[in-house]
Structure 1
Amino acid sequence: MGFERLGRATGTVRATHRVIRERFGSRRSRRSGLVGLPEPQANAERLARILERNILPFWYPGAIDVEHGGYLLHHDQRGNWLGHVPKGIVSQARTLWFFSRLAERSPNPERYLGAAQTGFEFVRDRLWDGTHGGFFWEVESDGSAPLKADKHMYGQAFGLYALCAFAQASGSAQAQALATELVGLLESHARDAAFGGYREFLRRDWSTPSDPVPDYRNNSDPSRKTQDTHLHLLEAYTAYCRLTGDALAKRRLTELVLILASTVQRQHAGVATDVHDAGWRPLPVPAHEQVVYGHELEKIWLLTQASAVVDLAPALLVGCYRSWFSVAHDRAYDRRRGGFFSRGCIGQPAHVRDKLWWVQAEGLLAALQMFVHTGDAHYYAIFCHTLDWIEVQQADWTHGDWHRAIAPSGAVRGNKADAWKTPYHNGRAMIECLVLLGGGTELATDR
């Protein structure tokens, strides 16, 4: 039993496998534009190779902090560890999520549950605020004291996502109870009943800042709402609803689907911008008139997952998905070499043309999800082309994991691991693309 384990668990994924099998039937493939493209099994083997030989060896076991708990996430471009640095909820939770999801998918879960357990214990014992509840933003490297103690909902979202993944993989009642406590705090203190969504930045005791202060994400006004934070709240509530079936959480998740599919959209442009005021009016200043193409792509898979949890028919949002993918493809896709550029102004080609690791990961998963939704070979071709780029260029087969950024010149830059670079984006893309393709390939390390 290999990567197909989770795929067999849901009717949605079984239907996905049926669509792909039908599209690759000999007669149908000749009519549908799939001739000449790799078969699903060939691509599954490529994905598994990247996961097991490129991503996983970089993070396991080397990222496990055997001295202080949690994960060591401070490595240079060549993978050299640069020493202890503070540990934040976002990066620790993302890495905990990765090992938890890997354990859920693996025929040998104990191998990765141990790695997940050390992350869970650090999150529970060091990053959780024992006085007021919720997660600190950042603590000392040994977890001895909080360095940034206020509550940012971006961090709470990733904490919730990781707790749910660990509970799902391990059966931990303690992790589930902590997730339920966190959802209660979010609903009691951060929920905006007037305008919908959540207030994003609160003090350590969950009170509203009395004066405008910068939050931990370079936002000068804590009353603002962002697509980015709400996208990850949607991700976290999806996981929590799957874990518990909680009725209130499902209602909130339905609202988050509406926010991401409609409220944050610039209807004239077919895409969203990130920063809004408390009433969801976009901020009309040049710095906020840019499109982050990775978010437009990431939304497709995350909203597909959320919609399934709240029983929305996939067809209801496929038009939105087509629009977002089309804009990203038209404005930010490298038709010659494959892969997606980073960002650009509304209605203009991408002007930040570095290829970031996380954008390639989200683009790959979005393209395959679009093929599943539509059966259109155009999306499968983009999936294959993007995978070509990742396999040959973005993946660093010498030092491990993926290059953080590749400039148009081909120059690579950036750390391999830090507060923002973890195995979350690219690890998830490999795992979830394998789920969509039907898996069937075991990790070599599990044999």
Structure 2
Amino acid sequence: MKPWLELAEHQRWLQTQSELLLTFGMSCGLPAGGAAYLDVDGIPDPDKPVHVWITSRMVHVYALGHLLGIPGCRPVAERALAGLTGRMRDQSGGGWFAAVDDAGPVDDAKVCYTHAFVILAATSAFQAGLVGASTLLEDATGVFLERFWDEDTGLCVDTWDSSFETLDPYRGINANMHAVEAMLATADVTGDPTWLERAARICSFVATQAATNNWRIAEHYDSSWVPVPEYNDGHRDDPFKPYGATVGHALEWSRLLLNLEAAAVNAGLTSIIELADWSSTAKSLFARAVADGWAVDGNEGFVYTTDWDGVPVVRDRMHWVVAEAAAAAAALWTRTRDPLYVTWYQRWWDYIVATVADPTAGSWHHQLDPADRPISTIWPGKPDIYHAFQATLFPRLPLAPTLATALASNMLH
């Protein structure tokens, strides 16, 4: 039997899953601009503000949907994009507020994580031909380079106050991870290899740090980039900055390293190709995440976090972790053709269909307890479809270029 990743029938099944997810999120676009936080049924939650990170993700996703030729996606992307070019943009102070409501900003911090997603949204919108995307990309990359990229360290700072006057001493890997994602996409759209070189500097730091820590990635640092291993010990299940090692991020990084390697090969950038053994590091991160996180307490599913010895800390299952696991397995199979990764890929999709996907209300349950029952203590509702949707696309596209550029170049299979 051929592996699923080589079957046309499986590719068609993934396409169906893409379409189902897009249908679920169609109501996210708001008349005033931006994308709403969605409840369990895909209905905008009126009690939640309009977040830049959700809005940017939905611009990205529905721009990809438009590039897939799915009717109805372009208007959703346009409404969400209007939020980034309108009320979510700080017209006087620069950058983007973290969240707004109808009265204005409700969180006026300027955060690297959200700004990285604005860049990603702009690149996908540009490839989809959306009006205003080119200007948005120019503005977003300008703010990013001026405020968040630290050329001396080759890493990104994390959070400014609203006026860009006070920089928080915290430094974080999560923001840098999504900055790499945005940098790879920007390199594809602009043709500027400097973005790949910046991404490689971040990836090299993470790879070196993980190699000295038994392939568990330290997430939290002080202003000098010294790890703070006990950060958030009092709030261990934080949705963005949890305590300990985040299993899903190791999986996400494993894929990103292969995306970077492939992009560098395509661009002929030998300096990046020779900088590290990207595939070996990707395999090590993947293996550590699976050993620490998958079905370690008697039930299938990935735990959210572990301590520095690999002991589970937060045992709840987050949908995005298994989405990234499936994407990483597909990437590693593409890179290595090792059947081990096909085995994991197929097992995780079986688990997603049986447990994580919601056949009644649609989309995926965002959080499950250790017994794989849906709960909502960390992630109420189903805020967006970004991770799940990308998991349906990565197996059908090459490791490089990035998703929107690959779709615009008719590389889907």
TM-score, L = length of structure 1: 0.78
- Pair 1:83–1:377, CA change in 2 (3 A): same
- The amino acid of 2:63's aligned partner reads S
Q: Deviations over 1:17-36 (max 9, x none)?
A: xxxxxxx7xxxx7xxxx6xx
- The 5-angstrom pairing of residues 350-429 of structure 1 reads 350-414=312-376, 421-429=383-391
Structure 1 residues 415, 204: CA separation in 2 closer, same or farther (over 3 Å shift)? same
Task: Give the distance between the partners of 2:105 and 2:180, measured in 1 at CA.
Answer: 27
CA contact (8 A) 1:257 1:307 kept: no
Deviation at 1:204?
2.3
Give the direction of change, closer, same or farther, for the CA distance of 1:189–1:180 in structure 2 (3 Å limit): same
Say if 2:158 and 2:171, in contact at 8 Å, map to a contact too. Answer: yes
Counterpart of 2:57 (choices 94, 100, 106) is 94
User: Quick check: 239-248 or 335-344, which moved more?
Assistant: 335-344
Q: Compute the displacement of 1:230 (Å).
A: 0.3
**2:156 alignment partner, SS class:** coil
2:198 aligns to what? 252
Which has the larger displacement, 291-300 or 313-322?
A: 313-322
Find out whether 1:292 has 2:251 as its counterpart: no
Say which of 168, 173, 180 aligns to 2:138: 180
- Cα 1:367/1:337, change in 2 over 3 Å: farther
Measured after TM superposition, the shift of residue 198 of structure 1 is 2.0
| 1:154/1:200 contact within 8 Å kept | yes
Is it true that 1:59 corresponds to 2:33 in the alignment? no
* Distance across 2 between alignment mates of 1:433 and 1:415: 31
Q: Which residue of 1 aligns with 2:181?
A: 235
Higher relative contact order (CA 8 A, sep 6+): 1
Structure 2 counterpart of 1:414, which letter? S
**1:301/1:224 CA distance change after superposition, 3 Å:** same
Partners of 1:205 and 1:101 in 2: CA distance: 33
Task: Give yes or no for the alignment of 1:155 onto 2:117.
Answer: no
Aligned positions of 1:186-265 closer than 5 A = 186-209=144-167, 222-262=168-208, 264-265=209-210
Cα 1:337/1:408, change in 2 over 3 Å: closer
Larger radius of gyration, structure 1 or 2? Answer: 1
What is the alpha-carbon distance in structure 1 between the residues aligned to residue 388 and residue 334 of structure 2?
20
Q: In 2 relative to 1, CA 103–138 (structure 1 residues): closer, same or farther, beyond 3 Å?
A: same
SS in 1 for 2:358: coil
String of CA shifts for 1:217-267, please: whole Å, max 9, x gaps: xxxxx21211101001111111111110224433322322222322x4251
Taking the aligned partners of 2:217 and 2:358, their CA distance within structure 1 comes to 32
Instruction: Kindly tell me the number of residue pairs found equivalent between the two proteins.
Output: 383
Classify 1:282/1:386 alpha carbon distance in 2 versus 1 (closer, same or farther; 3 Å).
same
Partner Cα separation in structure 2 for residue 415 and residue 346 of structure 1 = 24
Q: CA deviation at 1:285?
A: 2.4
Once the two structures are TM-superposed, the CA of residue 150 in structure 1 deviates from its matched residue by 2.6
**Aligned in 2, Cα 1:99/1:81: closer, same or farther, shift over 3 Å?**
closer
**How far apart in 1 are the matches of 2:392 and 2:7?**
13
User: What is the Cα deviation at residue 376 of structure 1?
Assistant: 1.1
Q: What is the alpha-carbon distance in structure 2 between the residues aligned to residue 42 and residue 194 of structure 1?
A: 49
**Native 8 Å contact 2:33 2:80 kept in 1:** yes
Residues of 1 paired with 2:181 and 2:146: CA distance? 19
Secondary structure of the structure 1 residue equivalent to 2:157 = coil
The equivalent position to 1:68 in structure 2, one of 9, 32, 37, is: 32
Cα distance in 2 for partners of 1:91, 1:280 equals 28
SS in 2 for 1:329: helix
2:238 maps to what in 1? none
Contact 2:110 2:159 in 1 (8 A): yes
User: TM-score, structure 2 length as denominator?
Assistant: 0.84
**Residues 334-368 of structure 1, C-alpha deviation per residue, up to 9 Å, x if partnerless?**
28765422211122243432221100100110111
Question: Which structure 1 residue ranges, 5 or more long, are not aligned?
Answer: 1-23, 210-221, 438-447
Counterpart CA distance in 1 for 2:335 and 2:179 is 24
Cα deviation for residue 134 of structure 1 reads: 1.2
Change (3 A) 1:308 1:371: closer
- Which of 294, 297, 309 aligns to 1:333? It is 294
Deviations 1:391-446 (A, max 9, x none): 11100000111111122323211299879831111111112223259xxxxxxxxx
CA distance in structure 2 between the aligned counterparts of 1:43 and 1:87, rounded to whole angstroms: 36
8 Å Cα contact 2:323-2:391 kept in structure 1: yes
Contact 1:137 1:148 (8 Å CA) reproduced: yes
1:270–1:327 contact (8 Å) kept in structure 2: yes
Percent identity of equivalent pairs: 22
Note the alpha carbon deviations across 1:193-213, whole angstroms, 9 max, x for none. 43331221112232234xxxx
Distance 2:230 2:317 in 1: 25
| 2:28 partner SS | coil
Q: C-alpha root-mean-square deviation of aligned residues, in Å?
A: 2.8
1:145 paired with 2:112, answer no
